[in-house]
Each structure stands twice: as structure tokens, then as C-alpha cells.
């Protein structure tokens, strides 16, 4: 059986070969940037939106709903990683990437019409399907198009791109503060990425490595990644991604809500400021993270866990008021905890062969989001348990980085090795 989809007439070889890597990187970078923008919207609107819908000022109830909506989002991303990763291995990276971006754009914009917290939960789940798929497809497409020597820099660009989106949405919210009466306008921004799909379908070429890998053979990616040969790597990748995602979604994503609580909601731009500082630090961290790979993939991951734990503990346990110290620590926390998202795009493609890479990455990275969803629900419960104290909750959740410092030494070292074919 020939799994190769039909294609439009090929471009001249010289033109395609020169432009393909840059077109691919440009499309993927924008896709990841808008992915980050979409994810950054909810932490900024969550507190005022939920207080508006619930007609309360109680952070215990808001925190509980925030935990459940975040968990639903993460479950959607996990499902999207599997569905769109499988689709990318079956029909091609480019075609599946376009569909995933359309999905998260459309459903994020629909949040404008939400009237109840459960409406937000459903729409965030549906948007997350596309976001989960976009990450694995973009990583596979870029890593299969560019030469091996560029992989560390590309991994940094991948991680940084989503945080450019976080920074962008934070800047928008800074100049037009998000309040109980103005939060809906921000989700309309979520429709913007839809225009990117036209560019992708018209100009971005399909991965030649993928076309060669699937030529004349039946592909069963889900069965293969859980088969005897690859399942150990699959479960290890899930564990390593889970540490990063639990730390991010169980604590770091709550920083804007915590800031809003510290200021009593009377400084609306404070949460936007902390969001931008976390995002700015994250851009730096995503670039530095893969460069640590010169020390080896395992040592780099260990150091990222160590520094993430140190700065998160300092932030949550050593800060009790909004001010310069909190702002500086937000930048440091953003840099250290986001370094994982420069490291993961470097490491995960090195574990799996081309024919199943999109599915394997989608499952590994996004299954971690299922465990992160449990962490998010637990974080919401901890906020209730600690009587609305976001800082104590954050300090508890970030203990997960200690687990990562141990698990990484059971993973294979892939430094200097080519991508498996």
C-alpha cells in the first residue's frame, strides 16, 4: 500500500531545495508563536472572567475552576497530540499542521461567547486539540528539513517561539488592561492564526524524509511506538516531558493569578507585567536550554531541573508582596522552567525513527499533559486547602523537579547521534 498523498506539481528543484528549510522554519515558528499566544490568553483572563461568570470575589472557588479548566485543556492537548501526530504520519506534516492551527484559532475565538465556566472548559478542550497537534507536527517538519548540525539552534527557536506569543499577549494586555468587563475582547485575538494556514498550504513543502519513509509501506505508528523496540523510549519521553509540564501548568501558569491576588486586583497591569517577564525569561531560557546540550543531553536536563527548583522555591517561599524582587524572580523562573521547551524539541526527535516521529512526539509530549492535568487539578485543590494561598501551592507543585533530577539518568544519551531513520 502506498501511503503517499497526492501533491501539487513540484517546484523547480533548485528553488525548492534552497527555500524549503526557511519556509518550513518560518511557518513552524509562527505556528508555535500563535500557539503560545493562545495559551497565554487564559491565565490573563481567568481570574476576572471566572469572577464575572460566578459573580464572586472568592479565590478559593476561582482557583478550583482554574484547576479544572486547565486540566481539561491539558487533556485536550494530549488527545490532539495523538490524533494530529497520527494524522501527520499518515497524510503528511503540512496538511495536518494546517488543520491543527485552524482548530485552535477557531475555538479560542469562540470563548468570546462563553457565559458559564463550563463553556470555557469545553472550548478550551477543543482548542487544545489543535495546540497539542501543532507542536509535534512542527517539530517533526523542521527537524526533518534542516541539516543535523543546526538542531540545537532550531530547538531553541522552537521553544522561544511560543514564548514570543506569551510575551505578545502580555504586552497587549498591559496596554489594554484585562478586567471583569473587558476580558472578552482578548479572546478575539485567537482568530488571527487562521490566516497562517493559507501560507502553509500554498508555500510550505512536505518533508522529503517523511515521503521516503512511508513510500510503499503500511504505517502503524501507535502500535509501533508501544511495541517492544520503542516502548521503553516512549515511556521515558513521557516521564521527562511530564516533569516539565507539571511544573509549568501546576505552578508557573498560576503566577498571573497570584499577582492579581497580591495586588488585590487594583493594579490590573501587574498580572500582565509578570506574564511578560516570565515570557521574556522563557525566550532566553529556550535558547540557552539546548545549548547546554554540549554538556550532554542528560546533564543539561539535570541542570534545568536544579535551577528551576531553586528559583521557583525562592519565588514562592521568599516573596510576599508585588515589587521588584517578584518581577526579577519571575524573569528567572521563566528562563529556567522554559528551558525544558528548548531541550525537548532537541531530544525527543532523537529517540524515534522518521516513520513514527510525529506520533511518538505527540504522544510523549502530550501524554505528559495528562499527568500535568492531574497536577493542575491538584493545584486547584491545594489552593482551596491553603485558603487561597497560591504561593504555598506553587512551592508544593515544584517539588516535581526533584523527580526529574533522578529520572533523567535512566534515559539514553543521544548527543552527537543522527536522527533515527
- The whole-number average pLDDT for the span 41-62 is 79
Mark out the alpha helices in 215-356 (DSSP H runs): 221-225, 231-250, 255-262, 268-291, 297-318, 324-338, 340-347
Q: For residue 293, what pLDDT is reported?
A: 66
Under 8 Å between Cβ of 120 and 114:
yes
Question: What mean pLDDT is reported for the chain?
Answer: 81
CA distances from 85 to 146, 181, 214, 231, 373 (A): 20, 39, 15, 17, 20
**Closest C-alpha to 278, from 114, 411, 167:** 167
| Global pTM exceeds 0.75 | no
Tell me what the mean pLDDT of segment 181-196 comes to. 78
Of 8-22, 102-116, 175-189, 217-231, give the lowest mean pLDDT range. 8-22
Domains annotated on the chain, with CATH: 17-410 (1.20.1250.20)
Residue 115: is it exposed, middle or buried by C-beta count within 10 angstroms (0-12/13-18/19+)?
Answer: exposed
Banded pLDDT at 243 (limits 50, 70, 90): very high
* Exposed / middle / buried, residue 138 (Cβ in 10 Å: 0-12, 13-18, 19+): buried
pLDDT for res 292:
66
Residue 14 has pLDDT above 60, yes or no: no
The predicted pLDDT at position 309 comes to: 95
CA distance 25 to 381: 40
Alpha helices in 110-220 (DSSP H): 117-145, 151-175, 184-188, 196-203, 208-214
- Higher pLDDT: 130 or 3? It is 130
Q: Check: CB of residue 94 under 8 Å from CB of residue 148.
A: no
**pLDDT surpassing 60 at residue 11:** no
Predicted pLDDT of residue 8: 44
CB contact set of 240 (below 8 Å; sequence gap of 6+)? 301, 344, 347, 368, 404, 407, 408, 411
Packed helices 324-338 and 151-175: angle between N→C axes, nearest 10 degrees? 150
**pLDDT attached to residue 5:** 47
For residue range 290-349, list pLDDT tens digits in order.
676 678 889 999 999 999 999 999 998 888 788 888 899 999 999 999 889 888 888 888
Q: How much is the pLDDT for 311?
A: 94
Distance CA 25, CA 204 (A): 9
Query: For 347-405, how does the pLDDT look when each residue is reduced to its tens digit (9 = 90+)?
Result: 888 898 888 887 888 788 777 777 777 777 777 778 777 777 788 888 888 899 999 99
Return the minimum-mean-pLDDT range out of 200-209, 244-253, 350-359: 200-209
Between residues 162 and 316, the one the model is more confident about: 316
Average pLDDT over residues 60-71: 79
In the predicted model, is pLDDT for residue 225 greater than 60? Answer: yes
Mean pLDDT in residue range 65-89 = 83
- Dihedral angle of Cα 325, 326, 327, 331, to the nearest 10 degrees: 100
Amino acid at each position: 500500500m502506498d501511503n503517499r498523498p497526492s501533491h501539487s506539481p513540484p517546484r523547480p528543484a533548485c528553488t525548492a531545495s534552497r527555500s524549503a528549510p526557511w519556509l518550513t522554519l518560518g511557518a513552524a515558528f509562527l505556528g508555535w508563536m500563535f500557539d503560545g499566544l493562545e495559551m497565554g490568553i487564559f491565565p490573563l483572563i481567568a481570574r476576572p472572567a471566572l469572577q464575572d461568570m460566578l459573580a464572586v470575589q472568592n479565590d478559593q472557588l476561582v482557583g478550583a475552576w482554574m484547576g479544572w479548566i486547565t486540566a481539561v485543556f491539558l487533556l485536550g492537548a494530549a488527545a490532539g497530540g495523538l490524533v494530529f501526530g497520527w494524522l501527520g504520519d499518515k497524510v503528511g506534516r503540512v496538511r495536518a499542521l494546517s488543520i491543527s492551527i485552524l482548530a485552535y484559532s477557531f475555538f479560542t475565538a469562540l470563548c468570546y461567547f462563553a457565559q458559564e465556566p463550563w463553556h470555557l472548559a469545553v472550548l478550551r478542550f477543543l482548542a487544545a486539540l489543535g495546540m497539542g497537534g501543532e507542536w509535534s507536527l512542527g517539530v517533526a517538519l523542521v527537524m526533518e528539513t534542516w541539516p543535523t548540525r543546526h538542531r540545537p539552534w532550531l530547538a531553541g527557536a522552537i521553544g522561544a517561539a511560543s514564548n514570543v506569543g506569551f510575551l505578545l499577549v502580555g504586552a497587549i494586555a498591559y496596554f489594554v488592561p484585562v478586567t471583569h468587563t473587558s476580558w472578552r475582547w482578548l479572546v478575539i485575538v485567537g482568530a488571527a492564526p487562521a490566516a497562517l494556514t493559507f501560507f502553509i498550504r500554498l508555500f510550505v513543502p512536505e518533508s522529503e524524509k517523511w515521503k521516503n519513509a512511508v513510500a510503499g509501506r503500511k504505517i502503524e505508528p501507535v502500535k509501533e511506538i508501544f511495541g517492544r523496540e520503542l516502548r521503553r523510549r516512549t515511556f521515558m519521553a513521557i516521564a521527562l516531558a511530564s516533569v516539565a509540564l507539571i511544573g509549568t501548568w501546576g505552578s508557573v501558569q498560576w503566577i498571573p493569578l497570584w499577582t492579581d491576588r497580591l495586588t488585590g486586583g487594583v493594579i490590573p497591569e501587574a498580572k500582565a507585567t509578570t506574564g511578560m517577564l516570565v515570557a521574556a525569561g522563557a525566550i532566553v531560557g529556550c535558547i540557552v536550554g539546548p545549548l547546554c546540550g554540549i554538556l550532554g543531553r542528560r546533564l543539561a536536563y539535570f541542570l534545568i531541573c536544579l535551577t528551576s527548583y531553586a528559583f521557583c522555591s525562592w519565588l514562592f517561599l521568599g516573596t510576599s508582596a508585588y515589587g521588584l524582587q517578584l518581577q526579577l524572580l519571575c524573569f528567572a523562573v521563566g528562563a529556567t522552567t522554559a528551558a525544558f521547551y528548548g531541550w525537548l524539541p532537541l531530544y525527543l526527535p532523537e529517540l524515534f525513527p522518521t516513520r513514527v516521529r510525529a506520533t511518538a512526539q505527540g504522544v510523549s509530549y502530550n501524554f505528559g499533559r495528562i499527568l500535568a492535568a492531574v497536577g493542575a487539578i491538584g493545584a486547584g485543590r491545594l489552593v482551596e486547602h491553603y485558603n487561597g494561598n497560591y504561593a504555598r501551592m506553587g512551592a508544593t507543585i515544584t517539588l516535581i523537579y526533584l523527580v526529574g533530577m533522578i529520572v533523567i539518568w535512566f534515559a539514553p544519551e543521544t548527543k552527537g547521534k543522527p536522527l533515527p531513520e
